[in-house]
Structure 1
Amino acid sequence: MNDSRSIRMHYSLRAFILLSFALYIGHLVHQDTLHYYVTPKLASLVKLCPIPLAAMAFSLTVQALFGKSSALCNCDQHLPRSNLRSITLYSLFLFPLLLGFLLPDRALGSVSASKKGVSLSYVASEQKFMSSDPYQEEFAKLAKILYEQPVISVYPEIFSETFGAIDRYRQAFEGKEIIVSGFLYPNETAAHDHSFAVSRFLVQCCTADATPFGIMVNPGTPISLPADTWIEVRGKLHIVPYKGQEIMQINAMSITPISQPSTPYIYTSPDSVEAWNKLENASGGASEQASVK
Structure 2
Amino acid sequence: MLRATFSFHYFLRSYILLGFTVLLTKLLITGDIQYYLAPRLHMLCYVTLGIMILLTIACLTQAITGAKANDCDCGGDHGLPRGVIRSTLFYGLFILPLAMGFLLPHKILGSELAQKKGVNLLAGNAKELIAKQSSLSPSKAGSQAPAQPDSTTSPAQSPALPQTMETPKQQSKKLRDAEIRNMFQSNNFGDYYTDIAMFMYKQPIINMDDKLFLDGLTILDLYPKEFEGHELETTGFVYRQPDFSGSEFVVARFTVSCCTADATVAGVLVDAKNAKAFATDSWVKVKGTLTMTSLNGSQFLMLKAEQITPVKAPKTPYVYLSGTGAGTANGP
Q: TM-score range by the shorter chain?
A: 0.7 to 0.9
Residue of structure 2 equivalent to 1:240: 293
CA 243–96 in structure 1, closer or farther in 2 if over 3 Å, else same: farther
Q: Is the 8 A contact 1:175 1:237 kept in 2?
A: yes
Matched, 1:179 2:178: no
SS at match of 2:114: helix
Q: Residue type matched to 2:242 in 1?
A: E
Q: Is the 8 A contact 1:4 1:73 kept in 2?
A: no
Shift of 1:133: 4.9
**Contact residue 151 and residue 179 of structure 1 kept, 8 A:** yes
CA 1:82–1:137 in 2, change beyond 3 Å: closer, same or farther? farther
| Secondary structure, counterpart of 1:157 in structure 2 | coil
Q: In structure 2, what is the Cα distance between the partners aligned to 1:170 and 1:211?
A: 22
1:126-165 to structure 2, matched below 5 A, reads: 128-130=183-185, 133=188, 136-165=190-219
Q: Secondary structure at the match of 1:93?
A: helix
Deviation of residue 50 (structure 1)?
Answer: 2.6
Q: Partner of 2:115 in structure 1?
A: 114
Which residue does the alignment assign to 1:35? 34
Stretch of structure 1 that moved more, 145-154 or 240-249 = 240-249
- SS of 1:49 mapped into structure 2: helix
1:281 aligns to what? none
Match of 1:20 in 2: 19
Equivalent in the alignment of 2:249: 196
Change (3 A) 1:178 1:242: same
What TM-score do the two structures reach when normalised by structure 2? Answer: 0.74
| Counterpart amino acid of residue 174 in structure 1 | E
**Letter of the 1:112 counterpart:** L
CA distance in 1, matches of 2:6, 2:71: 7
2:303 maps to what in 1?
250
Superposition TM-score, scaled by structure 1 size:
0.84
CA distance in 2, matches of 1:95, 1:133: 52
Cα deviations by residue, 1:35-69 (Å, 9 ceiling, x for unpaired): 111111211221343332122112111111212x4
Cα distance in 2, alignment partners of residues 244 and 266 from structure 1 = 29
Q: Which residue is equivalent to 1:105?
A: 106
Pair member with larger Rg = 2
Rounded Cα–Cα distance in structure 2 between residues aligned with 1:112 and 1:15:
36
The alpha-carbon deviation at position 171 of structure 1 amounts to: 1.1
Taking only aligned residues, the RMSD between alpha carbons, in angstroms, comes to 2.5
SS of the equivalent of 2:251 reads strand
Q: Cα distance 1:91–1:133, how it changes in 2: closer, same or farther (>3 A)? A: farther
Residue pair 2:212, 2:329 contacting (<8 A) in 1 also = no
Deviation of the 1:23 alpha carbon: 0.3
Shift of 1:76: 5.7
Distance 2:68 2:320 in 1: 53
Counterpart of 2:43?
Answer: 44
Deviations 1:244-263 (A, max 9, x none): 32232101000001111111
What is the match of residue 65 of structure 1? Answer: 64
Gaps of 5+ in 2: 134-181
Q: For the structure 1 residues 237 and 19, does the alpha-carbon distance in structure 2 shift closer, same or farther, using more than 3 Å as the test?
A: same
Q: Distance in 2 between matches of 1:65 and 1:260?
A: 48
After superposition, give the CA deviation of every residue in 1:196-223 in whole Å (9 maximum; x if it has no partner): 1111111111111111111111112343
Q: How many residues align?
A: 273
Contact 1:197 1:214 in 2 (8 A): yes
Q: Secondary structure at the match of 1:250?
A: strand
CA distance in 2, matches of 1:257, 1:222: 12
